[in-house]
Structure formats: structure tokens, C-alpha cells
Amino acid sequence: MENEIKVVLFGLGPMGKMIAKGMLEKKGLTVVGAVDILKDLVGKDLGEVLELGKNIGVTVTDDAEGLISRIKADIAIIATRSYLREIYPQLTLCIKAGINVISTCEELSYPYYKYPELSAEIDALAKRHGVTVLGTGINPGYLMDTLPIVLTGACKYVDSIRVTRIMDSSKRRIPYQKKIGTGLSPEEFRKMIDEKKITGHVGLVESIAMIAAALGWKLDEIKEFPPEPVIAEKEIVTSYITVKPGYVAGLKSFAHGIKDGKPVIILEFISHAAVKEEYDAVSIEGTPRIHEKIAGGVHGDLGTVAVVINMIPKVLNSEPGLFTMKDMPLPSTVGEDVRVYLRWRKT
């Protein structure tokens, strides 16, 4: 088949590298550019950065504007930051160049709640330049929002939804373990939470807002509680650090969507190195009641790579504008050649 889908990558941290490798495994996708600010990566061939044992002819650059001005790309994958204002320059650079965008930025998964004016601006800009913008990943983007929304499709009525994700953080990449405070003392953990040096999981608010919007619920408020440390009872060895008893093994994060004074959407995110059972669960109180449990849970990093790649043809098939996962066709895996799923190409 001809007409390869041309991809430009922003961000080659651990997650960005996994996405890049996933792209190179799929027929129909061609990486035409890669951007990162890390000096150790700039000037190197992407194949070397990914430790492929060969060069692929794409040199990593820290000059995003220069790269975008000299290449043609169909879609950009932005895997750099969690907060919308931090990726805004990269986002608008791509949009103005007529490049569609998928980003793992958690706040972009449902930006309308926190940033209604900025969301309207991005939507208008995308429509003006004929491109589609989507924020997604495994969470937010799938497990704690899209999946519960789809499960309500079998309900006549829904009273409340509880979503629980329990993960063994010792298996995750090192930046993630740092992000949840692994190895800190309880005092250090609380201090770094107060100073916002540890954010814990980002995206619970966005997931609740997306679920509420899909169900047509007008919430009184969305209440996110401060992350709570999980303290190790015995020594735990992870790929990052050895956690001593009495020190932080990870965290718990909770958020509630409140309607008529009661929590009707409850999200529980639990991630630490002492987890005994990993799972993802959705419990819907309604008619009928539904309880879904994925034993063993879904691997967060592999799942993020999959969702990002699987949404590429759906984004390219979409009308221009800013979209969330609730607005897109149902997510599904793509086969060996991504181009099979394209209906038409934006110009």
C-alpha cells in the first residue's frame, strides 16, 4: 500500500520511547521527525536512541519550529507533559502547521472542565486549520472513563459509578515510581505533596468530568482529595529503589463527582509496591447493576502505547476540532497495517 501515515514525535522519555517503538512495529506508519529537549538525545539518530541496533534516518532535534517548517506530517504524538498549559506551545505549533494531534497530556483528555475558554480556543484553531486534536492514554482516556461510559450502554438507568484501579508500581518505569513518592519518608512525602513536587496521579478530575458529560449529568462539584501515602510494612525491592519499612511504597488517590449532595462518580486510584492483587474494576449501580473486573489489571505503559496507536486512524477519519474519547468512535485495536482503517484523508 502507498501513502504512508507520516508521524512526528514530541517527547522521548520512557513513555515516548515506548510509543516510538510501537509506531515502528506497525505497517503504514512512518516516523518523519522526533523532538526532545534532552541534550544527550539531540543530534542522535532515533534508532540509536531507541537502541534498535540500526539507524532509521530520523535525527532527534530540540528545534521543534525548525523541524515542523521543513517536514510534512499527518499526525503528531505529544508525550511530554501532564498539564495543558505546558504543552500548549507544541500543540498550537502542530495545529497551525495542519498536523493532527494525539497527546498523552492528562489534562487534554477532558480539558473543558478546567479550561473552558482555552478548550474553545483550541477547538476553533483546529477547525480553522482542518485538523483533529485528541488527548488520550490508558488512564485517563480509557480505563477510568471510556470503559465505564461504554458499560453504561447496557443500563436503562444509572444511579452511581465506582471505578477502582489497583496497580503494582514496582513493575513500572522509574519516573513513574518517583512520581508517586516511592522510597520517601512519610514526612518527605507530605512536604513534596504540599510543594506540588509530587502530584500523584493526574487525570481523575478529567475522567469524572468526561463520564458526567457522557451521561448528561450536571454535577454540583468534582472533589479531588489529597493523595495519601501507602507505608511499607516490610522491605520492598523495586527497579528504582529499596523501600524500607515505614517508608512510602506508593499512594492512594480518590476523587468524587457530587450530584444532589451525594457522590455519584467515585474514582479510586491505588498504586504502590506492596500490592497483592492488581485489577481494574467498574461497578455500576443502576438497572441492571453491572460489575466488571479485569483480573491482573491492564499494564499501564503497554496500554497507553496501544490506545495512542489505535486511535490514529480514528483521529485521521474524524472531522476537525478538539475531541475527547467520548466523542470518538469506539476504540479498537488496529491490525498490522494502520492504513486499512482510513476512510479519507484531510487536506
Over residues 130-150, the mean pLDDT reads 98
User: Cβ(100)–Cβ(74) under 8 Å?
Assistant: yes
In this predicted structure, the answer to whether residue 146 has a pLDDT above a threshold of 70 is yes
All three cell numbers of 260: 444532589
Tell me how crowded residue 159 is: count the other CB atoms within 10 A of its CB.
13
User: Cβ(58)–Cβ(32) under 8 Å?
Assistant: yes
Report d(CA 229, CA 179) in Å as an integer. 12
In this predicted structure, the answer to whether residue 97 has a pLDDT above a threshold of 60 is yes
Helices (H), the chain: 14-24, 46-49, 64-70, 84-96, 116-129, 146-151, 174-179, 186-194, 204-215, 300-310, 312-317
Residue 311 CA from chain centroid, whole number? 12
Percentage of residues in the chain having pLDDT higher than 90: 89
Over residues 16-35, the mean pLDDT reads 97
DSSP 8-state class, residue 244: P
CB neighbours of 254 closer than 8 A, spacing ≥ 6?
204, 224, 225, 266, 267, 268, 269
Over residues 240-246, the mean pLDDT reads 92
Is residue 96 helix, strand or coil? Answer: helix
At 336 the pLDDT is 80
At 345 the pLDDT is 52
Over residues 216-234, the mean pLDDT reads 96
Report d(CA 235, CA 242) in Å as an integer. 7
Closest CA to 183 of 108, 235, 261, 145: 235
H or E, element range at 164 = strand 157-168
In this predicted structure, the answer to whether residue 225 has a pLDDT above a threshold of 50 is yes
In this predicted structure, the answer to whether residue 121 has a pLDDT above a threshold of 60 is yes
Distances (CA, A) of 221 to 114, 199, 203, 335: 12, 21, 16, 41
Buried b (16+ CB within 10 A) or exposed e, 247-268: bbbbbbbbbbbebeeebbbbbb
Report d(CA 86, CA 106) in Å as an integer. 11
User: Cβ(330)–Cβ(300) under 8 Å?
Assistant: no
**First-last CA distance in the chain:** 19
Over residues 73-98, the mean pLDDT reads 97
H or E, element range at 157 = strand 157-168
Look up residue 221 and give its amino acid. E
Burial category of 277 from C-beta neighbours within 10 Å (exposed 0-12, middle 13-18, buried 19 and up): exposed
Of the candidate ranges 42-56, 109-123, 231-245, 313-327, the one whose mean pLDDT is the lowest: 231-245
DSSP 8-state class, residue 232: P
Percentage of residues in the chain having pLDDT higher than 70: 98
Over residues 204-226, the mean pLDDT reads 97
pLDDT tens by residue, 9-24: 999 999 999 999 999 9
User: Cβ(294)–Cβ(279) under 8 Å?
Assistant: yes
Look up residue 342 and give its amino acid. L
Residue 323 CA from chain centroid, whole number? 14
In this predicted structure, the answer to whether residue 2 has a pLDDT above a threshold of 70 is no
Report d(CA 48, CA 12) in Å as an integer. 12
Over residues 29-49, the mean pLDDT reads 97
DSSP 8-state class, residue 66: H
Is residue 330 helix, strand or coil? Answer: coil
In this predicted structure, the answer to whether residue 1 has a pLDDT above a threshold of 70 is no
In this predicted structure, the answer to whether residue 93 has a pLDDT above a threshold of 50 is yes
pLDDT tens by residue, 166-210: 999 987 888 888 889 999 999 999 999 988 888 778 999 999 999
At 253 the pLDDT is 95
Closest CA to 20 of 61, 55, 49: 49
Query: What's the whole-number average pLDDT of the chain?
Result: 95
Closest CA to 43 of 18, 77, 74, 67: 67
